[in-house]
Structure 1
Amino acid sequence: MTATVTLHRTRSAAPSWVPQLVADLMGLLAIAAVVVTTWIWARNGGLLQTFVYPEYLLESQALYTGLLSQVLMILMVLFMARIPWVEQSWGHDVLARRHKWLGYASFWLAIAHTLLFAYNRVEREPSEWAGALLHLFVTDPWMLWATIGTLLIVAVVVTSIQIARRRLRYESWHLLHLYSYLGMAFVVPHEIFDGTHFHTAWTQIFWWSLYFGSLAAVLIWRVALPLWVSWRHRLVVDEVIAETPSAFSIVLRGRRLDRLRTKSGQFFIFRFLGSPGWTRGNPYSISAAPTRDDLRITLEAGGDGAVRARNLIPGSRVLIEGPYGTMTAARRRHPKMVMLAAGVGITPFRALLEDSEYGPGEATLIYRYTNHEHAIFLAELSELAERRRIELVFLPGRRRDDGSWLPADVDGSDVDVLKTLVPDIADRDVFACGPVPWLKAVHRAAHRAGVKARDFHEEDYAW
C-alpha cells in the first residue's frame, strides 16, 4: 500500500437536537396516552367496580383491557408512521421492535378483552350461552364489524410470529400485514357508538385526537411525502449490474439527489414502477457514497421483489421513501472504527468506508461470507483498502454454529478471535450488519470484549 490520504480531523456532526426532542416528546406522548386511558377508566367507575362492587369486576376488567388494547394499537401505528425526526433519533430498527412489542401487547389485551366479555355474558345467561355469544359477537350493534376486525388482527399477529414468517415470502407477509389497518378500522365503530368511555366531550377530544393524529401522520409521512419526494427527484433505473451469481447492483439516476441529505449507511424503501408487485415496498441500503445525480443499491437475488428488480429495464421509474437508518458516521464517538459484515450486510459499509473520515489504519473491515464466488465488492474493497489504508479481514466459509459469528475453520473462541483481530476494539466504534442470529453473536462477543453499548451500532437484515 503506497497511497496516503490526508484528512481534516473534523468529526462528523452529532445528530441535531430537534430529532431527539421530537423523539422524546413521542415517548412522553405514549406514556401520557396510557395514563390518560387508565384515568378515563378509573373516573368512569373502573376502580369502584373492581374493588367495591365485585359483581362488576369482569365487566370492568373487560373494558379496561379493551381501552388499553386500543391505545397501544394507535401508538403502534404512530411509531411506524415514519416521522422523520423520530426515525433519525431512534432509528428504524428500534422503532420496528417497539412497533412489534406494542402490537403483541395490544393483541393479548384484545384477546383478554374478548374472553372476559364472553365469560361475563355466559355467566349472566348460563342456560342461553349460545344465544348470548351470538348477540355479543354478531347481532349487537357494530359487533359483527368488531368480530371481523379482531379476526383480521389475529391473522396478522399469527403470521408475524417468527416460525410462521419463515414459511412466508416477504411479499405475502407484507400484504397480510396491511390487513391490520383494515382490522383496526372495523373495530373502531363499536368503541365510538357503543363504548361507555367515549361519550363525554373531553374523552371524545382525547380519542379523536389519537385517531386523527395517527391517521394524519401516516398520510403525511407514508403517503404524501414519499410521493412528493419521488416526483421532485424523478429517480429512474440507469443500469443493473451483476456483482456475483447471487447479488446485483442497481444504479439510479435523478435530479438534485443531494437535497435528500442521504448519508452513507442509510437505506430507502423502493417501489419499482412497471413491474409486478410494485405497490409493495422493499428496503435496500445504498452501497456507494451518494452523489448529486445517482444512488446505488445492491441486492441479493432472494425473494420475489429482488428477482423482479434484477430484470428491471433502464428508464423504469422508481418511487422512494426515506432515507432511513441511523447507522451512519454521525454516530461515531472515536477516531477509530471496526465494521463487521456478513453476506449482503456489506452494502452499507461499502458506502461508509468510501466517504467517512478516518486516517490510515483507523478503519478495519471484517467481512464474513460463505465462499469467494458469493462475496460482494471484493475488488472495490481491495481498491478502497489500498487507497485509504483500511485493514481488511476476510472470513470465508460456513458458520461454525448458530451461536457463533465465525467460520468453522477458525480456531479460538468468538471473543478471543475478535480481540486478536482488533486488539483495541474497546476503544473503537463498532458497526455490524447481517442476519439476526449472526448479529446477536457479534453483539455478544463485542460486549465481552469490552465494547460499550453506546459504541455498538447495528442493523439487521430481517423483516
Structure 2
Amino acid sequence: MTTVQTTAPPPPPALRPAVVARAGLYGVLGLNAGAVTVFFVQAGFGSNALILLGRLTGLYAALLMAFQLLLVARLPWLDRRIGMDRLTSWHRRAGFGLLWTLLGHAVFITFGYAELSAMDPVDQLVDLAGTVEGVLRAIVALGLILVVGTVSARLARRRLAYETWHFVHLYTYVAVVLAFTHQVAVGSTFTASAAATAYWYTLWGAALASVAVGRLVLPVRRNLRHRLRVSAVVPESDTVVSVHITGRDLDRLPARAGQFFLWRFLTRDRWWQANPFSLSAAPDGRTLRLTAKTAGDGTAALRHLKVGTRVFAEGPYGAFTTLHRTRPGTLLVAGGVGITPIRALLEELDGHAVLIHRVAGVEDAVLHDELRELARTRDIELHLVTGPATPDRLAPPELARLVPDVAERDVFVCGPPGMTAAVLRTLRALGVPRKQIHFERFSLAG
C-alpha cells in the first residue's frame, strides 16, 4: 500500500561515514606500524638473525595488542560508523594475527639465545624465565592468549555460552598488563631512546584509556544521568514481549533508530546478565522500547519484569541506521522478530520505502498492526511474505518481482542468520552495489 509522498531525503554525504572511519583506522594502524619499524631500526641490529626476528615480531605483537583494545573499546564515533559486529570481526582477525606474532616472538627469541649459548631450546627457555626479569610474566601472558585464542575458534565458540566465553576473554586484559610489564623490563627498543619510550607509553596509555572510556566511564555516566526504569511490560504474543523504559533527560541520549543496547535489568536473579536488544521504536526523547522473542531463561524473564525495575543499559551501539543511506529509495527486509530495528527505522526514513516482512505464518508477524499504521500514514509499501523457508520466497525472481528497482535502493536486512545470508546472496545476484546493502549481526567481544 502506498500513501502520499513525503519530502525528499537530503542528499548523501560525498564521503560515506563508514569509509571515513575505516580509512582512519587503517591510517592509524599503518602510521604506528611505520613508527614501530623506525624505532626498531634505530635500536640497532644484533649479530643473531633469530633474535632480530624475535624482537621485530614482539614489537608488532605489542602494536596488535594495543590495536585490539581500540577495536573493542566501543567508542561511539567508531561504533556508529562501522558497527560493533564488524569491529568485533576485525578484532577476531587481529587476535589470530596477535597469536601468531607472539608465538613467533617466543620461538625466535628462544632458539636465537639457544644458538648463542649452545643450550637445548627448552633449557634455554627455562633459564630465561628464571634469570631475566619479565620473561616469566611474558610466558604467562602467552599462555593466556593461547587459551583465549582456543575458545575463540569457531568450533569452540559455538559450543560455549556467551557468558562463559566472555569470562575467559576477560583474561586478555591480564595478558595485556603482563605483556606490557615484560616490554618495559627487557624491551631493548622500548629503552633505546627517550622518543621510543614516550611513544610506547603513549600508545598503551591511549589504548587503555579508550577501553576505560568506552566500556566504563560512558556507560556509568549515562546511567547515572538517565536513571532508567521499566515503565511498562506489554505482551505482543505468546512468545514476544515489549518492554518500555523511561528515565531522565532521554532527549540527550544519543540513540538512533536501528541501534541496540546491552540491557541489564537489576533484579535479584538477573542483574548480572546483559542481553543485546534493538530499539523497536525510534527514540522520542521520552521513552525507549525494546521487543524480544523468548529464546531462553533471560528473555523469558522479561515478561515478568515489574514496573519500576531499575535498568542499566550500555549503548547505544550499531551502525544499522539511516546515517549510511546512499539512495533516496529504500528496501527493508526483516525476518521474524528481526523486524524490531526495522520497525524503528521506518519512523526515520524519508522517501519511498518498501518493507518485506518474512515469517513462517501470520501469527509470527510481530508488530504487524503498527507496520500497517506506518504504511497508511507514510510512503511505505508493505509486503508480508509467509510460508516455510523452502522454497526460498525471496529468491532473485521473487524479490525482483516485488521490487523491480531494487538495484536503485538502499537495502536494510535484519533477521536470522540463514535468512540474512540468503537475502544477501539474492541482492548480489540482482546486482545491488555493496555500498547500498546494510546489515548487522549482534556480535560482541569482551
Same fold (TM over 0.5): yes
Q: Does the alignment pair 1:32 with 2:31?
A: yes
Q: Secondary structure at the match of 1:103?
A: helix
* Structure 1 residue 138 displacement after superposition: 5.5
Structure 1 residue 194: Cα displacement: 1.1
Check if 1:201 corresponds to 2:199: no
Distance 2:420 2:3 in 1: 33
Letter in 1 for 2:72: M
Structure 2 unmatched runs, 5+: none
Say yes or no: does 1:418 pair with 2:399: yes
Partner in structure 1 of residue 374 of structure 2:
384
Partner AA of 2:71 in structure 1: F
Instruction: Give, in whole Å, the separation in 2 of the partners of 1:271 and 1:255.
Output: 18
Between the aligned partners of 1:299 and 1:18, the Cα distance in structure 2 is 30
Q: Which residue in 2 is equivalent to 1:274? A: 267
1:32-431 matched pairs, under 5 angstroms? 32-46=31-45, 49=46, 53=47, 56-124=48-116, 128-137=120-129, 140-199=132-191, 200-276=193-269, 278-279=271-272, 281-303=274-296, 305-358=298-351, 362-388=352-378, 390-398=380-388, 407-410=389-392, 414-431=395-412
Q: Structure 1 stretches of 5 or more lacking a match? A: 399-406
TM-score with structure 1 length normalisation? 0.87
**Matched residues in 2 for 1:74 and 1:166: separation?**
27
- Superposed CA deviations along residues 319-363 of structure 1, whole A, max 9, x for unmatched, are 2232222222232232321111223321110111134223xxx22
1:301 is displaced (CA, Å) by 2.5
CA distance in 2, matches of 1:127, 1:202: 36
State whether residues 301 and 310 of structure 1, in contact with CA within 8 Å, keep that contact through their aligned partners in structure 2: no
Over 3 Å counting, the alpha-carbon distance change for 1:314 and 1:43 in structure 2 is same
1: CA distance, partners of 2:8 / 2:281 = 22
How far apart are residue 118 of structure 1 and its match?
3.1
Partner Cα separation in structure 1 for residue 418 and residue 29 of structure 2:
30
**Does the CA contact (< 8 Å) of 2:85 and 2:442 recur in 1?**
no
Q: CA RMSD in A?
A: 2.8
More displaced 10-residue stretch of structure 1: 310-319 or 216-225:
310-319
CA distance in 1, matches of 2:149, 2:366: 35
Shift of 1:288: 0.8
What fraction of aligned residue pairs are identical, expressed as a percent? 35
8 Å CA contact 2:9, 2:328 repeated in 1: no
SS of the equivalent of 2:258 reads coil
Deviation of 1:124 after TM superposition, in Å, equals 4.6
Per-residue deviation, residues 226-267 of structure 1 (Å, max 9, x unmatched): 111111111111222333343322111112212113221112
Closer/same/farther in 2, CA of residues 118 and 436 from structure 1, 3 Å limit: farther
What pairs up with 1:8-23 in 2 under 5 angstroms? 8-11=7-10, 14=13
Any conservation in 1 of the 2:85–2:443 contact (CA below 8 Å)?
no
Q: What is the CA deviation profile of residues 353-397 of structure 1, one whole-angstrom value per residue up to 9, with x for unaligned ones?
A: 134223xxx221222234444442233223333343533333334
TM-score (norm. length: structure 2): 0.90
Ranked by relative contact order (alpha carbons within 8 Å, sequence separation 6 or more), the top structure is 2
Contact 1:436 1:462 in 2 (8 A): no
How far the C-alpha of 1:437 sits from its partner, in A, is 4.3
| Residues 24/450 of structure 1: CA separation in 2 closer, same or farther (3 Å cut) | closer
- Is contact 1:170–1:303 with CA below 8 Å preserved after alignment? no
1:286-327 Cα offsets, whole Å, 9 max, x none, are: 001211211001223335543454443321212223222222
Deviation at 1:270, TM superposition (A): 2.2
How far residue 431 of structure 1 moved from its aligned partner, in angstroms, is 0.7
Separation in 2, partners of 1:178, 1:15: 40
Contact 1:44–1:197 (Cα < 8 Å) also in 2: yes
Name the CA shift for 1:308/1:285 in 2 (closer, same or farther; >3 Å).
Answer: same
CA displacement 1:30-69 (0-9 Å, x = unmatched): 21111111222222234xx5xxx4xx11111111111101
Give a deviation string over 1:389-426, Cα, whole Å, max 9, x none.
5333333344xxxxxxxx20347x83222212211101
How far did 1:10 drift?
4.3
Q: What one-letter code is carried by the residue in structure 1 that aligns with 2:338?
A: G
The change in CA–CA distance for 1:244 and 1:42 in structure 2 (over 3 A counts) is farther
Aligned pairs, number: 443
- Deviation for aligned residue 1:216: 1.4
Secondary structure of 2:178's counterpart equals helix
Alpha-carbon spacing, 1:203–1:307, altered in 2? closer, same or farther (3 Å): farther
SS at match of 1:131: helix
Q: Which residue of 2 aligns with 1:438?
A: 419
